[in-house]
Structure 1
């Protein structure tokens, strides 16, 4: 993966703030969690730059835009590195989740006040940034874990029970943070400050 070239190109995109590179466990996928100054700049990125970059590699792509302001209180409560939280231990893994729930405002659809205390008890959890899909309200999150083992256990054992309690279909991905640390540092990722 040509990290340096891609990092330089991404840094030139309007409104770009930072990126945490993500490397899929068991599937050799590459991607990232990007932060932009406005929803409009994020939309320009996912409709312009990102599809063009995926074409260079000849791969299909998946993108989603989330409303950071809709989830700010819930994310602050989970020590989100993207909302002024501080992660003092270097992450060993990341987990991405998304749950199919109604397209309502985040506070109406995601019972985060009940879920956060349970999530905080998960072994090795360092941080969670809550996500709320733009135009969909679909809740989810980017979690940072201390080890790949704890991340896998969360994604395979715990998270399916949370989705079942919500009676909803879900999507999870586990990422190895160690293989992308250097590339993420070069992009200002808040996990490596």
Structure 2
């Protein structure tokens, strides 16, 4: 038995690139920088060494997600690894390992100045949530999507002014 699952969190290294294949499949590509900490042998200090991970999202999820991501955004990504190899026109062999993304969680604010709505998790379509006072989740201002798909409802945390006495059971 083998398991092919990966979870990473980091910052986007570039703005996402949205393409469409000849058959109409949407493909969103972006890179995530993640740090590895190592001790410097000479100084004894801990240092961060960046790793750059290519990520790809396929299908109808690609376009809506592209509207919420930009260079520098902090995200957590879950997916599976996929290895690709090819030969260039000049005969060189190339290969890469990338993450085929299943879920994205937005970890950085989209717009610090205006609050009220946050985007907690993206596992199919972007799901806006009202940010409750005292809720420690990310805060972002974004327009409401035009049509909501028939995915599971996103639960919002209770507002800070709800008490046990207010619950009717």
TM-score, normalised to structure 1, is: 0.24
Give the structure with higher Rg (CA).
2
TM-score, normalised to structure 2, is: 0.26
Q: Which has the higher strand share?
A: 2
Q: Which has the higher helix share?
A: 1
Relative CO higher for 1 or 2, CA cutoff 8 Å, sep ≥ 6? 1
